């Protein structure tokens, strides 16, 4: 083994482990969203993450990865579709020269789970009223849109990358983009039945399981340690061995500040230490630090996280006031916090770390130059225009053609029973003691024995057996 092979081995271990952590974020979204929505939709909301990650994986294999990281021009990748075994085993070779020191397969794995996360965000705002086939159709469309933008910002030679846009792990690419599509979806679907009274005032529609939401948030926090530190794509960054450890530190500090910020701000502003707002605070902070994690100092990470939580807590009700029904708060938590994180990087990026990472320059605070901030803003505007237009346009077309919202009676009954044929918690709605007809075969052996012995009385068991 040469040194370089050992280095590739170490890089691959780290990137694959990180990718696996990010994949698990699907479980985080599944439970965060199932917890913040109603019982009658629990199976649908949780299950959709399995569905959409499946869609994202297949589409990303066929075209996404090539569009995003295949060799190409500043706008789009043109090679590496449905890659061959050799292309996937090669290291730093065309069409995936972008990944200089891990095999193409490891690069694909790491990038596909990001596409999956971005797509997962979309459905938060569309929860409880979208038709099932829309997950397939828009899931595929969005994966392509996502791939194009990730090419602009992350692929060597991508046009925003050339400007030096700093988006370490995707506040813009992953979260802001997901939120833009989520907004388009929420606008086109309209609010859930009962969300707004005829006075136009928003009604609370509490989710059905706060512990699920907590579990989802902790799984996301856990997975984010793959999301941000993994984006170093290796164990050495600009000469610093183990730089990803530092990225993990800023990520954790921001999340911590976000949790504290979320609950404290809610306590003050909403007059109750709302648990769901604490969770949103953590997530908003993680979203915001995602762009900045490799560029800023620890204190800046804390600040970015705390402000992101404030943004989320204040924005969630504001979005509602605009008449938008966003059950999970995707627009506020992933959208606005993503914008904040992207701009904050332009403010707080340390010149030294920008050099280490090798992208862009120091932020306004240190250089006094608005250049980096400008680049970040440019990226937000460009991505905002493109992704929102593409998402709104395609969803609008799908809606005109076949209608993307379920029938009111389906929405009222719940998607679980009406679309999937079974409740998420069957025993809450139908008697399922021994199964249908339990007693009806009371004359067969077993059940007969059953029919002639006492009901649950452990202490009578012997007697029972005797019978």
Partner 1 sequence: MVKVEAVVVRERVETVIDAVEEETGHVGVTVVEAIGHGRERGVTHEYRGRTFESRFLPKALLAFVVEDALAERVVAAIADAARTGHEAGDGICWTSPVANVVHHRTGERL
Indicate the residue among 402 and 436 with the shorter CB distance to partner 1. Answer: 436
The residues, ordered by sequence, that sit 6+ positions from 277 with a Cβ below 8 Å of its Cβ are 262, 263, 265, 266, 270, 312, 313, 316
Q: What is the distance between the alpha carbons of residues 41 and 165, in angstroms, rounded to a whole number? A: 40
Residue 295 CB, nearest distance to partner 1 (Å)?
A: 32
Phi, psi of 240 (to 5 degrees): -90, 115
Task: Decide which of partner 1, a second copy, none touches 313; Cβ closer than 5 to 8 Å per partner kind.
Answer: partner 1
* Coil vs helix vs strand at 237: strand
Per-residue binder mask for partner 1 (CB under 8 A), 438-467, x = binder: xxx----------xxxxxxxxxx-------
Closer by beta carbon to partner 1, 78 or else 467: 467
Residues 305, 388: Cα–Cα separation, whole Å? 26
- Decide whether 30 or 144 has the Cβ nearer to a second copy: 30
Q: Does 316 bind partner 1 (CB under 8 A)?
A: yes
User: By CB under 8 A, which span of 167-175, 221-229, 231-239, 315-323 interacts with partner 1?
Assistant: 315-323
CA distances in angstroms from 247 to 153, 294, 348, 436, listed in the order given:
19, 5, 15, 55
Minimum CB distance to partner 1 smaller for 445 or for 458: 458
In the bound state with a second copy, the residue whose beta carbon lies nearer, of 161 and 209, is 209
Q: How far apart are the first and last CA of the chain?
A: 73
Question: Would you count residue 410 as binding partner 1 (CB under 8 A)?
Answer: no
Residue 46 CB, nearest distance to partner 1 (Å)?
16
Q: Which of a second copy, partner 1, none does residue 253 bind to, with CB < 5 to 8 Å depending on kind?
A: a second copy
> Is residue 92 classed exposed, middle or buried when 0-12, 13-18 and 19+ CB atoms within 10 A define those classes?
middle
What is the Cα 146 distance to its own chain's centre?
A: 13
Per-residue CA distances from 46 to 29, 42, 43, 206 (Å): 8, 6, 5, 17
For 413, half-sphere exposure in the C-beta direction (CA atoms, 13 angstrom radius) is 14
Residue 227 contacts residue 26 (beta carbons within 8 Å): no
Question: What residue 341 binds from partner 1, a second copy, none (CB within 5 to 8 A, per partner kind)?
Answer: none
Find the DSSP H helices in 126-270: 132-154, 159-163, 177-189, 210-227, 243-265
Q: Which pair of tokens denotes residue 251?
A: 């990520």
With CB cut-offs between 5 and 8 Å by kind, which of a second copy, partner 1, none does residue 317 bind? Answer: partner 1
Residues in CB range of 5: below 8 A, 6 or more apart: none
Residue 24 interacts with which of a second copy, partner 1, none, CB < 5 to 8 Å by class: a second copy
**Burial group, residue 76, by CB count within 10 angstroms (0-12, 13-18, 19+):** middle
Given partner 1, a second copy, none, residue 76, with its beta carbon under 5 to 8 Å by kind, binds: none
Q: Interface mask (CB under 8 A) for partner 1, residues 175-194, using x and -?
A: -------------------x
- Of residues 202-261, which lie at the interface with partner 1 (CB under 8 A)? 202-204, 206
Task: Pick one of partner 1, a second copy, none as the site partner of residue 37 (Cβ within 5 to 8 A by kind).
Answer: none
Cα–Cα–Cα angle for 109, 98, 244, rounded to 5 degrees: 65
Measure the CA–CA gap between 24 and 223, rounded to whole angstroms.
Answer: 6
Compute φ and ψ for 297, nearest 5 degrees. Answer: -85, 165
CA distance 319 to 332: 7
Q: CB nearer to a second copy: give 49 or 177.
A: 49
DSSP state of 236: E
Token pair belonging to 362: 């120091």
Q: How far is the CB of 34 from partner 1 (least distance, A)?
A: 16
Tell me which residues in 257-296 interact with partner 1 (CB under 8 A). 270-272, 274, 276-277
Binding mask 319-348 for partner 1 (x = CB under 8 A): -x--------x-------------------
Residue among 61 and 388 whose Cβ is closer to a second copy:
61
- C-beta closer to partner 1: residue 162 or 321: 321
Is residue 130 classed as helix, strand or coil in its secondary structure? Answer: strand
| SS3 state of residue 116 | helix
Question: Residue 329's binding partner, choosing from a second copy, partner 1, none, with beta-carbon cut-off 5 to 8 A by kind?
Answer: partner 1
Among 92, 157, 164, 317, binds partner 1 (CB under 8 A): 317
Question: What is the distance between the alpha carbons of residues 229 and 24, in angstroms, rounded to a whole number?
Answer: 15
Q: What's the min distance (Å) between Cβ of 193 and partner 1?
A: 9
CB of 159 or CB of 429, closer to partner 1: 429
CB 143 within 8 A of CB 55: yes
Q: Which CB atom, from 6 or from 461, has the smaller least distance to partner 1?
A: 461
Q: Rank residues 6 and 94 by Cβ distance to a second copy and give the closer one.
A: 6
**Is 425 one of the binding residues for partner 1 (CB under 8 A)?**
no
Binding residues for partner 1, per CB under 8 A? Answer: 194, 202-204, 206, 270-272, 274, 276-277, 313, 316-317, 320, 329, 409, 412-413, 417, 420-422, 426, 429-431, 433-434, 436-440, 451-460
């Amino acid at each position: 083994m040469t040194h370089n092979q050992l280095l590739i081995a170490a890089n691959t271990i780290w990137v694959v482990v990180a990718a696996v952590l990010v994949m698990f974020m699907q479980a985080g979204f599944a439970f965060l969203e199932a917890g913040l929505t109603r019982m009658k939709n629990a199976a649908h909301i949780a299950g959709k993450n399995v569905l959409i990650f499946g869609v994202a994986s297949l589409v990303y294999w066929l075209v996404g990865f090539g569009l995003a990281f295949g060799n190409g021009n500043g706008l789009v990748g043109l090679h590496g579709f449905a890659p061959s075994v050799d292309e996937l085993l090669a290291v730093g070779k065309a069409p995936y020269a972008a990944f200089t020191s891990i095999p193409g397969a490891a690069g694909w794995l790491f990038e596909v789970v990001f596409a999956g996360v971005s797509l997962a965000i979309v459905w938060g705002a569309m929860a409880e009223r979208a038709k099932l086939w829309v997950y397939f159709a828009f899931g595929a469309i969005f994966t392509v849109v996502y791939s194009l933008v990730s090419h602009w910002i992350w692929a060597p030679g991508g046009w925003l990358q050339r400007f030096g846009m700093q988006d370490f792990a995707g506040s813009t690419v992953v979260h802001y983009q997901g939120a833009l599509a989520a907004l388009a979806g929420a606008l086109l679907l309209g609010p859930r039945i009962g969300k707004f009274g005829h006075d136009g005032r928003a009604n609370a529609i509490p989710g059905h399981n706060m512990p699920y939401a907590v579990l989802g948030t902790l799984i996301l926090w856990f997975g984010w340690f793959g999301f941000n530190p993994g984006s170093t794509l290796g164990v050495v960054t600009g000469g610093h061995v183990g730089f990803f450890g530092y990225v993990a530190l800023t990520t954790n500090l921001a999340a911590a500040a976000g949790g504290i910020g979320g609950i404290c701000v809610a306590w003050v502003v909403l007059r109750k230490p709302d648990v769901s707002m604490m969770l949103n605070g953590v997530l908003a902070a993680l979203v915001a630090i995602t762009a900045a994690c490799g560029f800023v100092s620890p204190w800046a990470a804390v600040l970015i996280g705390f402000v992101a939580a404030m943004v989320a807590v204040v924005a969630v009700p504001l979005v509602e006031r605009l008449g938008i029904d966003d059950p999970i708060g995707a627009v506020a938590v992933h959208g606005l916090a993503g914008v904040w994180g992207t701009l904050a990087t332009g403010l707080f990026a340390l010149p030294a770390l920008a050099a280490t990472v090798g992208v862009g320059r120091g932020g306004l605070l240190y250089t006094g130059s608005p250049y980096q901030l400008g680049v970040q803003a440019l990226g937000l505007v460009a991505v905002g225009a493109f992704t929102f237009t593409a998402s709104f346009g395609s969803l609008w077309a799908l809606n005109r053609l076949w209608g993307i919202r379920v029938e009111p009676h389906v929405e009222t009954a719940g998607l679980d029973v009406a679309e999937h044929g079974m409740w998420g918690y069957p025993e809450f709605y139908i008697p399922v003691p021994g199964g249908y007809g339990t007693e009806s075969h009371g004359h067969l052996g077993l059940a007969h024995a059953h029919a002639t012995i006492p009901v649950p009385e452990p202490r009578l068991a012997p007697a029972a057996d005797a019978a």
